[in-house]
Amino acid sequence: MTQLPAAHTHAADAAAAPSRSGRPTAADHPKALYGGTSTRRVTVRDLATAKERGEKWPMLTAYDAMTASVFDEAGIPVLLVGDSMGNCHLGYDSTVPVTMDHMTMLAAAVVRGTRRALIVGDLTFGSYQEGPVQALRSATRLVKEAGVGAVKLEGGERSLAQTEAIVQAGIPVMAHLGLTPQSFNTLGYRVQGRGEEASHQLVRDAKAAQNAGAFAVVLELVPAEVAAEVTRSLHVPVIGIGAGPDTDAQVLVWTDMAGMTGGKTPRFTKQYADLRRILGDAAREFAGDVVGGAFPAEEHTFH
């Protein structure tokens, strides 16, 4: 991949766009994660200062260099090489079969495809549950071989020792709470943190992750009110997916966001494009041209 455009253009373009209300917002700050003027790689420290400023920011998943370069040019400050690659890229029906070999290869591609975004790589199912030594080995591999700037793991209190060990080694950790897809055999795919006991446990998990040194917490599929309380109680950024409007950031799986995912998508996603239809139309048009003899034409032909 040698032709990736320099990422500096997107930040300047985004900065030039006026805010919708015409009034200055946190996104108009020169250091804004989205829309700011900085062209260097985003760091976890930048995310901390965005929370202090009250700036909301977007995060997307990415699984390959070319798609990642598009999001990087669009100014998305954080890209997650999620184990959702199992469903969205590798053809599995869950995240469980994804291995650290898959993750390392695709995370390295995403790092190579980007200039500015902070790249977070997931620790895959079975790569950290045994304990801190295994967790640190997996996290170290992702940093050394793929070049990610941070890793994500599922669990708060239950992953405390793992989080501490990785953070102490100097690797930033993002914790994933609420619906944790690697545990779907226990939890199913339903809203988590409903009811008094479950919501208190969620707050405890979030605080445990923060105290263990996590730089951010993802909350997936939890009631908006609980997510708002967690966001207020933590000094580190909270990133929501299906967690209502009050978290510091929002993440979507890119194939859902862009309309690539086939079939039904969860209610909490929003589709901003219809890429599956567009790609299908392009493929059908190409096939029609080949079958009908319209492609290749003279201008595509060497003599």
- 177 in helix, strand or coil? strand
* Closer to ligand KIV by Cβ: residue 61 or 127: 61
Please give the residue whose beta carbon sits closest to ligand KIV in the complex.
Answer: 82
* 145 given a catalytic annotation: no
The distance of closest approach from Cβ of residue 75 to ligand KIV in the complex, given in angstroms and rounded to an integer, is 20
The distance of closest approach from Cβ of residue 3 to ligand KIV in the complex, given in angstroms and rounded to an integer, is 27
Query: How many CB atoms are closer than 10 A to CB 287?
Result: 11
Phi-psi region of 12 (alpha: psi -120 to 50; beta: other; left: phi over 0): alpha
Given the rule CB under 6 A, which residues bind ligand KIV?
61, 80, 82-84, 122, 176, 218, 220, 241, 251, 253
The distance of closest approach from Cβ of residue 99 to ligand KIV in the complex, given in angstroms and rounded to an integer, is 14
Phi/psi at 136 (5° precision) = -65, -40
The distance of closest approach from Cβ of residue 252 to ligand KIV in the complex, given in angstroms and rounded to an integer, is 8
**For 54-157, where are the alpha helices, taking DSSP H only?**
65-73, 85-88, 100-112, 132-141
b/e map 19-41, b = 16+ CB within 10 Å: eeeeeeebbebeebbbbbebeeb
* Closer to ligand KIV by Cβ: residue 40 or 158: 158
95: which 2 tokens? 């995240």
Which of 37, 32, 33 shows the shortest CA–CA distance to 12?
Answer: 37
- 261 in helix, strand or coil? coil
Q: Which of 73, 164, 220, 229 is catalytic?
A: 220
Catalytic residue numbers, as ranges: 220
